[in-house]
Structure 1
């Protein structure tokens, strides 16, 4: 897919992977619109890269999604929708049932899954009106093997992975020009994972892998260790499960 000259909307684009993606897409000649709920971060991103268009909106809010769509339409529309925004709510008691655990799970599902569907539905006609268009949904290796500690986050990403495959096939059946990509990252060094001591890749490396996959039209884009993990999970699922859930996870659950 040719990215130069395309207009891309990046959710969660003011920090972390989203901001790095904005920088790299700009560098290869794309027009970039970012959105996020934190106005201060959006302002900082705009100050650092004046070519960026920044629009405040919350991925969990239905009315914000409609507002975002209307603003993007006023700006001339987009060719690529990159659903990057995601949340991971630390479980209040590592999965033991209580109200906070249920509320956190609902919020993760609202942002990581339902929010993606809302934006895809809103922007679909716009994307289909373009000569070449794409949707990028970010899932996770945790959609292949669940984390005991991050069970509800894993579940939200699994829902998104299944939806992404179904959406891609549905659009193929009706002859749509909208290409649907699934980005499967490993653990990436961001604010969300700052307290994790596991092996991580940089956001820069992650986005380079994404752009390479888009240009080669690899509809399932695995970056870094996600490539090897996919093979391990396919042939040795128990080993893959243990990689995601080492002994220290069990100790945390016991304590």
Structure 2
């Protein structure tokens, strides 16, 4: 896929992986539009990278999504929709009744999964009209092996992973040229998992892997240790589970 002179919309692009993606796409000559819920963060991103177009928008809000589409349309449209916005909650012991389990799961599913479907539905015809349109979803290594301390987050990313594969196949059957990419990160050094210790990949290296995968039309992009976990889970699933869930996770849940 040729990324130069294309336009990309990155949801959740004001911080973390999204902001790093905005930076690297700008560097290769892509027009970048980012969204986020915090105007202060959007202003800071714009100050740091003046060529960015920043739009305040909450992916969980129906009206915001429609307004975002209209604003993007007025800006000339996009070639690539990168559904990056996401949230994650630390799971307390799911074996103990707690209303927070449901509230957290509903919040994660709304943003990590349902909001993606909404935006895809809004932008799909626009992407189909482009010479080379694409959709990018960030799922997770946890869609292969669930994390005990991020159980409902793992479930939301698994739902997104299955939807991604199905969407890709539906578009193929419909003879659409829109490409659907899935980026599967391992643990990434961002605010989202600041509570976790252990090995983490940097946002910079993750986005580098994403861009290489896009250029090569590699629809499933397993970055960093995700490749190892993927293979181990196929051959030695119990070992893969213990790798993702070390003994200290058991103590956390007690």
Fold-level similarity (TM above 0.5): yes
Listed as ranges, the matches of 1:131-150 within 5 Å are: 131-150=131-150
CA distance in structure 2 between the partners assigned to 1:194 and 1:8 by the alignment: 28
C-alpha separation in 2, matches of 1:101 and 1:164: 25
Corresponding position of 1:90? 90
Question: How far apart, CA to CA, are the structure 2 residues paired with 1:143 and 1:97?
Answer: 25
Counterpart in 1 of 2:161? 161
For 2:240 and 2:67, the matched residues in 1 are separated by 42
Secondary structure, counterpart of 1:45 in structure 2: helix
Distance 1:246 1:235 in 2: 19
1:46 aligned onto 2:49: no
> Cα deviations across residues 206-229 of structure 1 (Å, max 9, x unaligned)?
000000000001000011111111
Residue aligning to 1:208: 208
Which aligned pairs between 1:53-72 and structure 2 lie closer than 5 A?
Answer: 53-72=53-72
What is aligned with 2:20? 20
Q: What are the superposed Cα offsets for residues 162-205 of structure 1, whole Å, 9 maximum, x if unpaired?
A: 00000000000010010000000010101112221110011000
Partner residue in 2 for 1:182: 182
Q: Secondary structure at the residue paired with 1:87?
A: coil
Unaligned runs of 5+ in 2: none
Q: CA RMSD in A?
A: 0.9
- Determine the structure 2 residue equivalent to 1:129: 129
> Scaled by the length of structure 1, what TM-score is found?
0.97
**Cα deviation per residue 1:225-244 (whole Å; 9 max; x = unaligned)?**
11111111111111111111
> What is the aligned partner in structure 2 of residue 224 from structure 1?
224
Large movers: runs of 4+ above 6 Å: none
Partners of 2:133 and 2:164 lie apart in 1 by 15
> Aligned pair count?
253
Give 1:97 shift.
2.8
Other structure's SS at 1:164 match: helix
SS of the aligned residue for 1:251 comes to helix
Q: 1:90 offset after TM fit, Å?
A: 2.6
Post-superposition Cα deviations, 1:27-80, rounded to whole Å, max 9, x if no partner, equal: 000000000101100000011111100001112111111111111011110000
TM-score normalised according to structure 2 size: 0.98
Match of 2:35 in 1: 35
Q: Unaligned stretches of 5+ in structure 1? A: none
Question: Counterpart of 2:148 in 1: which secondary structure?
Answer: coil
SS at match of 1:150: helix
